[in-house]
Amino acid sequence: MGTSSSTSQNGEVTVGRHSPLPQDVQPYQGSFLECLVISIPLKFRSKYNAVASDIDDHYPAISRYLEQRYTLNTFCPLPKSFRPAGFNKVEVLYEAIFSKPVGLTTSQQNGADLLIERSTVHYENSRRARVADSSDIMNKITRRSSEGGRLINLEINGHGVTRGINFQMTRGMGVDILFEIPREATTPKYAYQVINVPFTVIATMRHQASHCDWLGPFLYHLSQGWKLVRVFIDGSRERNGREFTVNSTWIFEKEASKVEDSTPLYEGIIIEYYHKVTSRGSVKTDWGPIIVEMGRRGWELACVQESGEMHVSGLGTVEMKLNMFFQRRIVVARGVPPPTYSSRPSSRDTTLHLPHQRQLYPPSEAPSYPPSYRSERF
C-alpha cells in the first residue's frame, strides 16, 4: 500500500530512531494511504551576492504525479544535505512526498493543475536580531485562494541574496508557493489561518537544545476544525548570548464555507524523528519507511520541520531532531468515542490572540516575542 524510493547520497541508510508510532485500539475505519517519497537533488550556485537553483527543472516531474491523482504533502530539503558540486556550487537533496487513498482511480477524483508563485522573504538585520517580512507570501496566498486555488506547500527555492560566498541568505530568501488549481468550478474554496509560534534554541559547542510547545497549537487548531498545511521557519530570530528566539509560521486551512464551524475533522500526532547527516552532507537515515507505515494506518504527513535540537553523535556526524506532523480524518466507529481535545493549547504559558491585522515590526527594531503565539485569519 505504499513505497519509499528515498535513498542517501552514498546508498548506506537506515531508518532514523523515532518516537513510537500510534496504535489504534480499534481498527481505523477511514481510508488508508499509498505514499511515495521521491528524492530530488537540486543544484545551488552562488554568483556575486546572489544564489540561484535549478528547482524549476523539477516541477514537471511533480506535476506528473499530480496527474496520477497523488496529493503533494510536502516538498522540502533534507536538513544539512549540502554537498560540494563544483566551483561555487552545491547539491542539496530535496524530497517530494506524495499520497493518495488506496484504490483511488483517475475517474474517482477531479484533476487539478500545479501553479507556482515565486516570492521573497526580506530581512532587516541588526546586531542582535534579524526580522523577516513575509507579507508578500501572505498577500499571494490571499489572492490565489480567493480565486479558488488551494495551498499545497511553500518552500525555500534556492534563490536569494547573500553576504559572502557561504550560501547563507542573510538579506533575502526566495520561497516558492505551490497551489492546486482545480479544473472543476464546483470545487470548494479554502480559507487560511496563520499563527506565529516562537521557540528558543540554546547552543553549545556540541549540542543544541530547544524549547517549544509544538503539540499545543497543533491540536488546538485541529479541535477548531482546521487542518495543518505547513510549518515554516521564516528566518526571524533574536539572540541573547547563547540563546536564540526563532519564529515559526504555521498555516492552517478550512473550507471557506465552514470557517465558523468548529467541528473537528482531523486528529493529529507529532512523531519525533532523528535525522543523521555527515559534515560532508551525506544523509545516513531515511524517514521514508515511517511515512509509508503511517500511510498504511491512514495518517497523512502535513510537513516535517526542524525542532532546533541537535548534537554531534560521532566523528563528523550530526543528529537532528525533526518534528513530523501527521493528521488523519476522524472516522468514528460504532461504540468508539471521537478523540478529545482540550479547549485551548496545552501549555500553561500559551494564550491565543486574534488581532485584526498582522503585526509588523519597524525595520530598525528587533522582534520581542511574547511567550504566546499570535493568530490571523485571511
Rg (CA), the chain: 20
Residue of 34, 41, 17, 181 lying closest to 113 (CA atoms): 181
pTM of the model: 0.84
Pairing, β 172-182 against β 190-203: unpaired
Residues 6 or more apart from 152 whose CB is under 8 A from it? 71, 72, 114, 178, 179, 180, 229
Residue of 39, 56, 63, 300 lying closest to 180 (CA atoms): 63
* Angstrom distance (rounded) from CA 362 to CA 305: 28
Amino acid, single-letter form, for residue 243:
E
C-alpha cell at 213: 510547545
1-32 per-residue burial string, b: 16 or more CB within 10 A, e: under 16: ebebebebbeeebeebebeeeeeeeeebeebb
- pLDDT value of position 172: 84
- pLDDT value of position 81: 87
* Angstrom distance (rounded) from CA 14 to CA 317: 14
SS (H, E, C) the chain: CCCCCCCCCCCCCECCCECCCCCCCCCCCCCCEEEEEEEEEEEEEEECCEEEECHHHHHHHHHHHHHCCCEEEEEEEEEEEEEECCCCEEEEEEEEEEEEECCCCHHHCCCEEEEEEEEEEEEEECCCEEEEECHHHHHHHHHHHHCCCEEEEEEEEEEEECCCCCCCCCCEEEEEEEEEEECCCCCCCEEEEEEEEEEEEEECCCEEEEECCCHHHHHHHHHCCCEEEEEEEEEEEEEECCEEEEEEEEEEEEEHHHCCCCCCCEEEEEEEEEEEEECCCCECECCHHHHHHHHHCCCEEEEEEEEEEEEEEECCEEEEEEEEEEEEECCCCCCCCCCCCCCCCCCCCCCEECCCCCCCCCCCCCCCCCCCEEEEEC
Below-50 pLDDT ranges, the chain: 1-10, 164-167, 342-375
* Angstrom distance (rounded) from CA 59 to CA 115: 10
- pLDDT value of position 341: 52
- pLDDT value of position 377: 56
- pLDDT value of position 362: 26
- pLDDT value of position 342: 44
- pLDDT value of position 12: 64
- pLDDT value of position 8: 40
